[in-house]
Amino acid sequence: MTSWVSSVLLVAVGFLLAEAQRHYYTAAVFEHCRFGTRDDPPQLIVQTNLQYYTNATEAAKSKGADVIVFPEYGIFPPGDRNQLKDYLECVPDPTVIRVNPCEEQDAYSQKPILYTLSCLAKNNSIFLVANMGDIQNCEGDPDCPSDGVFHFNTNVVFDRNGTLLVRYHKEHLFFEAGMDLARKQQNTVFETDFGTFATYVCFDIDFARMSQVAQWPDVDGIMFTTMWVEQPPQMKSIQVWESWSIGNNSTLISSNIQIPGFYALGSGIFHGNQGALAYTFNPDGISKLVVAKVPKCNSESVPPESSITAITKNGTWEIEDDGKDVPMECSRMFLNDTDEIYTEYRCVEENVTNYNFKQLEGSSGHVEACQNGLCCTLDYSTDYLHERFFLGVFSGIYDHFGRYFWCEEDCILVRCEAYDDEPCATFPMKSNTVFRSIDLRANFTSQAVYPSVTESGMRLMPTNEWLYQRRDEKERSIHIENVSGKNLITVGMKGRCYERDPPYHR
Ligand SMILES: *[C@@H]1O[C@H](CO)[C@@H](O)[C@H](O)[C@H]1NC(C)=O
Ligand SMILES: *[C@@H]1O[C@H](CO)[C@@H](O)[C@H](O)[C@H]1NC(C)=O
Ligand SMILES: *[C@@H]1O[C@H](CO)[C@@H](O)[C@H](O)[C@H]1NC(C)=O
Ligand SMILES: *[C@@H]1O[C@H](CO)[C@@H](O)[C@H](O)[C@H]1NC(C)=O
Ligand SMILES: *[C@@H]1O[C@H](CO)[C@@H](O)[C@H](O)[C@H]1NC(C)=O
Ligand SMILES: *[C@@H]1O[C@H](CO)[C@@H](O)[C@H](O)[C@H]1NC(C)=O
Ligand SMILES: *[C@@H]1O[C@H](CO)[C@@H](O)[C@H](O)[C@H]1NC(C)=O
Ligand SMILES: *[C@@H]1O[C@H](CO)[C@@H](O)[C@H](O)[C@H]1NC(C)=O
Ligand SMILES: *[C@@H]1O[C@H](CO)[C@@H](O)[C@H](O)[C@H]1NC(C)=O
Ligand SMILES: CC(=O)N[C@H]1CO[C@H](CO)[C@@H](O)[C@@H]1O
């Protein structure tokens, strides 16, 4: 009898497990506070960071993760050509040769990064995505640098056996003088036992290709490594990750560095219209593992289980109060750069010099602003405007640090402060103004539009509390209605008219 009951139970449990497996997978991202300065020996830097990776992977596995994603420049710091040489390893091309570094210890004895990453995947039976540096001989190639090698900023993907599946060379470098641009456009798609994904790096998210690949019918999402420059008002890490996943109706699994004084923090797991399944945004100099269950095929039946875990030399603990260390200001315009890079948070504003801004006046009202055929309209009500809020509109070629250029259409409501002669120049992260309703609308020519709503304290407003709609061919809107009110700092829609982008030059 007992054995009959237990077999039935076993079958039932087995069925439930199998059923659950069909509906979701578990993803983990590690927001790593990279160890090491220029004064530390390279070997120590690599070893120490990989020790964090080991602890993070084991913690992820214990939480049932199927995949873990590590950040860009998570194992060694960016640097000039000579500084990088200490860290580069020649990465085989998995489309040409099948390799499993963990099982080929002798061949990889001089390649500690590839070896360890492969063993982490194998030992924990987990898919693993990480960023490293690839060095390739190029003598004879007319584009070969004078030192005879290419340096590539590279994502690698390992399967559960530790076999290398993907080697992707970053196609949009962001300055990065020590790295060379990918030789050609690559296909980064790979299969797992829970879906089909592609992988990209940081600046790639600003361009058309990553969004196009996310639209391929078989692709379930993007596994993304980054060391992002925080740019208010609309281009801070978590805003970008969430709005990208909503704007492309895709999944983004995004792992960022945590070095707040170098403008970098903010990671998470984002799923189409559901937005953030889990995210972290807290400038505290602590490495964190973020884990969430991701529904397959937009199935809504997954319990919203997620966690944030600190991974430190002192031990591992669960974090419940993410966001508590967000300060009021981050602008390096008046705070300047800082030496306290792990605890002081700095950001660099988007170039809003050519935006057309109109200040909100009165506790409720209607405001309109247009530029080059893009009209942005706001109806709002508050209890009282405690701070300065502006409606901003921009349409044209956006100038990114005087170096990169692309076509953009922006419509935003934002809290801002004046600086120098500009009425809206810096963007505080907190606000006491309580909004009860907002209707923000604009007539975009862009097909790809990225919406975001950010609450006071740099928290993403849950997506079930605001409505983003495409009302007709051109008009998009964000609607918020909340009787108890919301302290907001930014409500924005960023259109990307990719088809009008000038060619990318590194
Ligand atoms: C993988 O497991 C082997 C055998 O237990 C162990 O020697 C090795 O240190 C592990 N490597 C990593 C990177 O976890
Ligand atoms: C992984 O290794 C297992 C056991 O050696 C093997 O059965 C399986 O086919 C391997 N999977 C892949 C994708 O190579
Ligand atoms: C978003 O994608 C899911 C499948 O991943 C699909 O079921 C849904 O209809 C899509 N929604 C929109 C608005 O395209
Ligand atoms: C990793 O975990 C070990 C064992 O718990 C601990 O002693 C070590 O300090 C941790 N190291 C890092 C870098 O997290
Ligand atoms: C770890 O412990 C040391 C010594 O107690 C302390 O100074 C440090 O702040 C701790 N680090 C973290 C991340 O908690
Ligand atoms: C930032 O630097 C400028 C110029 O060196 C200085 O005048 C200003 O006081 C600094 N601001 C802060 C907050 O340290
Ligand atoms: C947007 O609306 C304005 C005002 O109605 C109009 O002048 C403009 O042509 C429209 N732009 C587009 C792209 O339709
Ligand atoms: C901002 O854009 C303006 C106008 O396109 C350009 O002149 C300026 O150099 C840009 N500033 C920065 C800091 O990129
Ligand atoms: C209004 O905001 C409160 C508190 O943030 C939230 O609990 C509630 O769900 C919101 N209501 C709506 C209709 O979104
Ligand atoms: C929801 C959705 O699919 N949005 C857009 C994703 O990006 C492409 C452009 O790359 C747009 O055409 C889609 O409409």
Mean pLDDT by 10 residues, the chain (506 residues): 48 51 88 95 98 98 98 97 97 98 98 98 98 97 97 98 98 97 98 98 98 97 98 98 98 98 98 96 98 83 85 97 98 95 97 97 98 98 97 98 97 97 97 98 98 98 97 97 97 98 95
Mutation pick for ligand 4 pocket among 35, 55, 312 (CB with most ligand atoms within 8 Å): 55
Q: Measure the CA–CA gap between 273 and 290, rounded to whole angstroms.
A: 20
List the one residue out of 492, 495, 244 whose CA is nearest residue 390: 492
E strands present in 173-305: 190-192, 195-201, 221-226, 251-256, 267-271, 276-280, 288-295
* Cβ 178 vs Cβ 81: under 8 Å: yes
* Cβ 297 vs Cβ 287: under 8 Å: no
Residues with Cβ within 6 A of ligand 2? Answer: 159, 161, 163
Q: Cα–Cα distances in Å, from 217 out to 196, 200, 220, 295?
A: 10, 18, 8, 17
Q: What is the pLDDT of residue 5?
A: 46
- Give the residue whose CA is nearest to atom 14 of ligand 9: 465
Mutation pick for ligand 9 pocket among 467, 482, 486, 488 (CB with most ligand atoms within 8 Å): 482
List the one residue out of 46, 29, 77 whose CA is nearest residue 224: 29
Q: Which ligand is nearest to the CA of 336?
A: 6
- Give the residue whose CA is nearest to atom 9 of ligand 4: 313
Q: What is the pLDDT of residue 1?
A: 41
Q: What is the pLDDT of residue 15?
A: 47
Query: 155: CA distance to ligand 1 center in Å?
Result: 22
Query: 420: CA distance to ligand 6 center in Å?
Result: 14
Q: Measure the CA–CA gap between 307 and 290, rounded to whole angstroms.
A: 6
Enter the tokens of residue 36: 């090491």
Q: What is the pLDDT of residue 264?
A: 98
Evaluated on CA atoms 370, 375, 376, 381, the torsion sign reads positive
Q: Measure the CA–CA gap between 164 and 167, rounded to whole angstroms.
A: 8
Q: How far is CA 157 from the centre of its chain?
A: 17
- Give the residue whose CA is nearest to atom 5 of ligand 5: 314
Q: Which residues have CB under 8 Å from 146's CB, separation 6+?
A: none
- For tokens 């750069």, the residue is 337
Mutation pick for ligand 7 pocket among 368, 371, 375 (CB with most ligand atoms within 8 Å): 375
- Give the residue whose CA is nearest to atom 14 of ligand 3: 249
User: Is residue 422 in contact with ligand 8, taking CB distance under 6 Å?
Assistant: no
Q: Cα–Cα distances in Å, from 443 out to 369, 475, 481?
A: 12, 4, 22
Mutation pick for ligand 5 pocket among 31, 32, 258, 314 (CB with most ligand atoms within 8 Å): 314
Q: What is the pLDDT of residue 4?
A: 46
Pairing of strands 364-371, 374-382: antiparallel
Pairing of strands 67-69, 24-31: parallel
Residues with Cβ within 6 A of ligand 5? Answer: 286, 312, 314
Q: Measure the CA–CA gap between 170 and 168, rounded to whole angstroms.
A: 6
